[in-house]
Amino acid sequence: MSDLNPGAVITEPGSTKKYKTGDWRTFKPNWDSSKCTQCMICWQFCPDMAIPQKDGKRQDTNFDYCKGCGICSQVCPVKCIKMEKEEK
């Protein structure tokens, strides 16, 4: 249990980079790069910025931060992202 300041005042800025939230997943996105048109819609809609891009092209999902919400799969116009049950 951590100590809280009176009134739960936040005294320093935080970052979710400290907390790898990918362990919350039940399903994970499986990206088929051979079908991908690099439209970047998945990148735009990812709420966790778990889809990195380099030089305007989508890269592999960063599973340290992907929570498995499935938004990327839903917005993909060519359906190259399929949600699969997480195997732990």
Beta-carbon count within 10 A of 58 CB: 22
12 to 5, 48, 60: CA distances (angstroms): 11, 21, 32
pTM of the predicted model, to two decimals? 0.77
Structure confidence by residue, pLDDT tens digits, 60-87: 999 999 999 999 999 999 999 999 999 8
Q: One-letter amino acid identity for 36?
A: C
Structure confidence by residue, pLDDT tens digits, 28-47: 999 999 999 999 999 999 99
Contact partners, residue 50, CB within 8 Å, separation at least 6: 22, 61, 62, 63, 64, 65, 66, 67
CATH of domain 19-85: 3.30.70.20
